[in-house]
Amino acid sequence: MRALLQRVRRAEVSVNGAVVGRTGPGLVVFVCAMRGDSESEAARLAAKVARLRIFADARGRMNRALSDIGGGALVISQFTLAADTARGNRPGFSSAAPPQEGRALYEAFARQLAAQGVPVETGIFGADMQVALVNDGPVTIWLDTDG
């Protein structure tokens, strides 16, 4: 599985003009399930996101995790993280999990992250979503269970 994390002051996701999820200080987590992924990758990725120390401590050093700051996570499905741009100018997405598997793994990731004690809100899988966020830092981290 792949995830792109953005540390945020606040964020929200809307579908058809209605807000469906939001967070205050914390993370926006864009998630993509890849072909061959399983719930074990979702659990591993969720644990890593929950423990990742990318929030400032009293000295301004990145030394605190989501739980340390009482932060939440807005989890958004994003199959385009599977983009293959090696050939031509049009990305291919064949390495992304098929939609039904992708949905199940996205939902498993969100459940696993919540099980780590992180307040989680989500977008709507497969929907055309608009994400508004205020980056903090900016801090953007790429995670991949293959790496």
Catalytic residue check, 80: yes
The yes-or-no verdict on residue 147 having pLDDT over 60 is no
Averaged over 132-136, what is the pLDDT? Answer: 97
Contact 55, 65 (CB under 8 A): yes
Q: State the CATH class of domain 2-144.
A: alpha beta
CA distance 6 to 137: 9
Q: What is the pLDDT of residue 146?
A: 82
- Which helix (H) or strand (E) covers residue 29, if one does? strand 26-32
Q: Which residues are registered as beta bridge partners of 96?
A: 34
Q: What is the pTM of this model?
A: 0.95
Q: Which of 6, 23, 78, 116 is catalytic?
A: 78
Q: Based on the residue annotation, tell me whether 79 is a catalytic residue of this protein.
A: yes
From 6, 79, 109, 122, the catalytic residue:
79
